[in-house]
A and B are shown apart, each in its own frame.
Chain A
Amino acid sequence: DTAVSQTPKYLVTQMGNDKSIKCEQNLGHDTMYWYKQDSKKFLKIMFSYNNKELIINETVPNRFSPKSPDKAHLNLHINSLELGDSAVYFCASSQGGTRVLGTQYFGPGTRLLVL
């Protein structure tokens, strides 16, 4: 059973398109995250939701919009894709809201390539 799953695993698209990445966790956690890993493998947090409430919103272009329909899902929608959006996007989840004691469990990643 996959704890944190992401779809699709690979996404190749043209500049200017709009795309979504879906994330689901079956761990019963109350907090979910989106991270971006660039071509140099540098990982940076983008967003975090706790009980469907946005709690971390880093300096990310407003073309990126997270949506959390319920505690088990956090989707990432990207408008007007640009070349620089090519990266691996990781979803993660944890229990305990903003308490740091909650270990973050990561999904397998979605590899986005913008042509």
Chain B
Amino acid sequence: AQSVTQPDIHITVSEGASLELRCNYSYGATPYLFWYVQSPGQGLQLLLKYFSGDTLVQGIKGFEAEFKRSQSSFNLRKPSVHWSDAAEYFCAVVPGSSNTGKLIFGQGTTLQVKP
């Protein structure tokens, strides 16, 4: 079945440590890929997106993500986490075959940052 999977429900890292959040998708055609962040009590904010081209994309707040076609993955990374990064992170896709731009979200990963 077509899906977006974020294997880690909850991750805790120390402030200043590196971070990697995983995202896998299962669609026949390469989808359009997104990472969103949701701070507590807030709406979602786009961190970055991948449509084509360079497989390493840079986003806001120092985040980057790498598209790996062979692994059907689009993992989000940050070299040094700040306490303000504590939030819910969502990977999302628009299937390559879509003609409606419908976003399909993963289950989300809750990031906790230890001082």
Contact = CB atoms under 8 A, between A and B. Distances in A.
Interface residues of A, number: 28
Interface string B41-85: 111111001010000000000000000000000000000000000
A105 B112 CA distance: 24
Contact of B100 (A4, A48, A92): A48
A97 B99 CA distance: 10
Interface residues on B, range: 20 to 34
B44 A41 contact: no
Contacts of B108: 41-43
Interface in A20-36: 31
Given A43-B105, A45-B102, A94-B101, A100 B51 contact: yes
B17 interface: no
A90 B107 CA distance: 16
A102 B90 CA distance: 18
Nearest to A104: B103
B51 A101 contact: yes
Contact of A102 (B43, B101, B104): B101
A107 interface: yes
Contacts of A96: 101
Interface string A29-57: 00100000000111111001000000110
Given A100-B51, A104-B46, A41 B102 contact: no
A98 B100 contact: yes
Interface string A56-71: 1000000000000000
B94 interface: yes
Q: Which 9 A-B pairs have the closest CB atoms?
A: A106-B43, A43-B105, A106-B44, A100-B94, A100-B101, A108-B43, A100-B32, A41-B108, A98-B101
Interface of B: 32, 36, 38, 41-46, 49, 51, 88, 90, 94, 98-105, 107-108
18 contacts: A40-B107, A41-B107, A42-B107, A43-B108, A45-B103, A45-B104, A56-B100, A92-B43, A94-B101, A100-B51, A100-B94, A100-B98, A100-B101, A102-B101, A103-B49, A104-B103, A106-B43, A108-B43
